[in-house]
Amino acid sequence: MITKITIIFFLLSTVSFSQTTESTIVVPTMDSKFEKGKNLIYCSSLELLWLKIYQSLKEKPEFQNKTQLVKNLNKAIKNYQVPLESNYWLAEFGNVKQGVLDSIKNAYKEKFNIDWEPRDLDGDNFYGHCYLKKDILFYSRLSDDFYNLYFNDSIKVKSFGVDGGWQNPTYKKKIKIFDYVDKDNFIVQVGCKDTLDEIFFAKVNPSNRVWLTFENVMYRVAKGNESYLEEFDKLKLPYLKFDIEKEYTEVTNNSFLNKELLGSKVEFLTQKISFDLTMDGVKIESEASVIIEFGLSSDQIKPKIYSFDKPFLIIVKRKTAKKPYLLFWVENTEFMTKTGRNY
């Protein structure tokens, strides 16, 4: 009997997701190309699921119809270095009648204290599932709202950040500016409460591929040409929020060639990603502060405005990892909060 394999990825299954749109693409690996005028989202969750399948089969997943998606995923997991500690994600793959659903349910409860309800699946099916959750907590709240950010000089969107720099000397060094060229070419790193968390906002021109753009940004950061927000400087970031789903139809009904799964087919492969960037999500600790004045009058200062009003890249990674677990190229305003306010 020919069985079907159901492979599914959920990132945040408690919210309502929209399908990928004409303005945004979700890519399976970093070896992907940008598309003009479109946002691009990458999350390592699909690779983690594919890695689990590979480990279960003890060989690369192979299919009757050779697709670029399968080639890219098999290439990605070769010598794969997991970008995030295992307590932030789970991945399971196996036969339903051999208890894979119970394994997933137990992992959800143990790692995330979530009571996961399994799908109703036939016992002959195989099931793969990955869940990833990570909260990035800024070192301190970016508490200033702005209403005058025009993204790509066209659409006014709501933004937040820092108006006038952080004068506390401890806080000040938590926002770093790397390799500033001009107002449309620089990289900002916002410090996080967990010192292993790293988040970069790179206002740069993309290369033709995602991984190359990421490596170019990291190269510029590694050069160490850094500065900090000074008095009267501003940092403006647009609010961003999305819940998006991608179904990889190119593998639907594709037959496996691996011995253990010979004759079985993929029913569907889907990935869901949720992302929310705000001034909040920060746990504040009470501490003494000192304000240092540099003795300069305001007319002697030429403040910089680090405004992310043009396409930019968001990189989310762990300090100890060579690659990120999420990349978001922000090309348009689809996931921004539009505002009609005039100030």
CATH code for the domain in which residue 217 is found: 2.30.39.10
The single-letter code of the amino acid at 198 is E
The range of the structural domain enclosing residue 84 comes to 4-135+241-275
pTM above threshold 0.85: yes
CA distances in angstroms from 290 to 42, 283, 285, listed in the order given: 41, 20, 15
Regarding whether 209 and 323 lie in a shared domain, the answer is yes
> Is 56 strand, coil or helix?
helix
What's the CA gap between 36 and 24, in Å, rounded?
10
Distance separating alpha carbons of residues 223 and 220, to the nearest angstrom:
5
For 210, list phi and psi in degrees, rounded to 5: -65, -50
Tell me whether residue 197 is in a domain: yes
Query: Is the domain of 217 the same as that of 233?
Result: yes
In a domain, 114, yes or no: yes
DSSP 182-203: ETTEEEEEE-BSSTTEEEEEEE
Distance of alpha carbon 28 from alpha carbon 43, whole angstroms? 7
| Type of residue found at 301 | I
Distance CA 267, CA 247 (A): 11
Has residue 336 been placed in a domain? no
Identify which of 44, 48, 61 has the alpha carbon closest to the alpha carbon of residue 92.
Answer: 48
Q: Does residue 129 sit in the same domain as residue 28?
A: yes
Whether 263 and 197 map to the same domain: the answer is no
**Are 160 and 257 within one domain?**
no
Tell me, yes or no, whether 14 lies in a domain: yes
**144: how many CB neighbours lie within 10 A of its CB?**
15
Residue that has been written with the tokens 């508490």 in this structure: 143
Residue 144's Cα: distance from chain center in Å? 24
Residue 233 maps to a domain: yes
In a domain, 283, yes or no: no
Tens of pLDDT along the chain (343 residues)? 334 443 333 333 333 435 557 899 999 999 999 999 999 999 999 999 999 989 999 999 898 888 999 999 999 999 999 998 999 899 988 888 889 889 999 999 999 898 988 777 777 788 888 989 888 888 888 888 888 889 998 889 999 998 876 666 666 788 999 999 999 999 999 999 899 998 999 999 999 899 999 999 999 999 989 998 887 888 999 998 888 888 888 888 888 888 888 878 888 888 888 888 988 532 221 111 111 122 333 445 567 888 989 998 999 988 999 998 888 999 999 989 887 654 4
Contact partners, residue 36, CB within 8 Å, separation at least 6: none
Cα 297 to Cα 106: distance, rounded to the nearest angstrom: 62
Residues 174 and 319 both lie in one domain: yes
Q: Say whether both 51 and 94 belong to one domain.
A: yes
Residue 149 and residue 109 share a domain: no
Whether 200 and 265 share a structural domain = no
Distances (CA, A) of 155 to 24, 161, 204, 237, 305: 17, 19, 20, 14, 19
Q: Does residue 119 sit within a domain?
A: yes
- Same domain? For 18 and 120 the reply is yes
- Give the total number of structural domains in the chain: 2
Check whether residue 50 and residue 129 sit in a common domain.
Answer: yes
Residues 49 and 185 in one domain: no
Radius of gyration over every alpha carbon of the chain, rounded to an integer in angstroms: 22
DSSP label at 209? B
Residue 73 lies in a domain: yes
**CA-CA distance, 298 to 290, in Å (whole number)?**
20
